[in-house]
Amino acid sequence: MQKGRETMKKIDLRSDTVTKPTEAMIRAMAEAEVGDDVYREDPTVNRLEEIAAERLGKEAALFVTSGTQGNQVAVLTHCVNGDEVIVEAESHIFYYEGGAMSALAGVQTRTVSGVRGALRGEDVEKAIRSTTNIHFPRTKLICLENTHNRAGGAVVTPEQMKSVYDVAQKHGIPVHLDGARLFNAAVALGVDVQEFSRYTDTVQICLSKGLSAPVGSIIAGDRAFIEEARWWRKKLGGGLRQVGYLAAPGILALTEMTDRLVEDHDRAKQLAEGFRNLSLEVAPVDTNIVLVKTDSIRVPAVEFLRLLSDRGVYAVDFDEYMIRFTTHRHITENDIQYVLEVVESLIAGVSTAQ
């Protein structure tokens, strides 16, 4: 173990989900006015849902426990078992939600590969099943993700989303957006979040990632959809009682925390540039995620992560030779400098050893 490890600063770049609530959020939690939300009597939850619906340009919204629950409630609400859902091949809803779409909604997924996470309208159209052939399942939903996590926080532009939405509308199929980091996309392009949500029927956003709320996500859509989603949320055990205590920081997440995401993006760009200067291969950086390849130094990702963690730096492996670093509110410019120094010394150590 390294000397001084006990007091070593921990630089946690594993995810933006590690962000702790702000002082204002903690105060808002303590002061929240609450009621029983299953009876729809929690004024703070009601306010959060109104604010979220308005912000996303949808008729109604629902507070859910997590991004995963929000996505799965959306699938359950849109589909019946045996339906087919088109998903991007590396999307979170397909890749990282424990097979929940098939386990819970009983749907079949049809994967289509995107370009840096962005599905193309023409590829989606080819994957939509003909409704006249009785051999086929029915395509009942198309799922998008923005920003796209496994594509390295890539922004799917409004034009790219429109190309899918136009096809979806032509075939009468709804579009659900996993917008866990949709505000990162909006801030990166300097546009309103509705420039994206207008090309969706339903959308899920996370309050607990870069926006720093401790818990929760929102799903938004038309009023009838949200009524049905409320029923599914209850069936999944997500009907909570005095949950205004958790909705209160969610309100601040939406009203006060979106613009500052630009700082996370700046830090991610700084980190990426530093890695490139060390001759590492880095994927293009649009937002707060940096994907770095370790094959050029011939060190598997898990081994490199172990070396990093010995020096107090934490990230996650995304592939055998790929590491993901995610910036967030607790990461300072000095932290980025420190990480780059650590990586430089590790590379030097590795090349001496090889």
Ligand X SMILES: Cc1ncc(COP(=O)(O)O)c(C=O)c1O
Residues within the interface to ligand X (CB under 6 A): 17, 66-68, 92, 145, 149, 178, 180, 206, 208, 217
> Residues 205, 52: contact at Cβ < 8 Å?
yes
Nearer to ligand X, 17 or 157 (CB): 17
Nearer to ligand X, 29 or 215 (CB): 215
Nearer to ligand X, 184 or 294 (CB): 184
Nearer to ligand X, 49 or 145 (CB): 145
And the tokens for 145?
A: 């993700």
Nearer to ligand X, 139 or 208 (CB): 208
Encoded amino acid at 333, one letter: E
Closest CA to 186 of 260, 282, 114: 260
And the tokens for 276?
A: 């490139």
17/69 Cα distance (integer angstroms): 15
Nearer to ligand X, 109 or 149 (CB): 149
C-beta nearest to ligand X: residue = 67
Nearer to ligand X, 66 or 197 (CB): 66
Q: How far is the CB of 217 from ligand X (least distance, A)?
A: 6
> Residues 205, 180: contact at Cβ < 8 Å?
yes
Encoded amino acid at 60, one letter: A
Which residue(s) pair with 178 in the sheet? 145, 204
73/97 Cα distance (integer angstroms): 12
Which contacts of 127-132 are long-range, i.e. CB under 8 A and separated by 24 or more positions? 127/86, 128/86, 128/167, 128/171, 128/173, 129/84
Please give the torsion angle defined by the CA atoms of residues 156, 160, 162 and 165, in that order, rounded to the nearest 10 degrees.
-80
Q: How far is the CB of 57 from ligand X (least distance, A)?
A: 20
> Residues 98, 267: contact at Cβ < 8 Å?
no
Q: How far is the CB of 157 from ligand X (least distance, A)?
A: 17
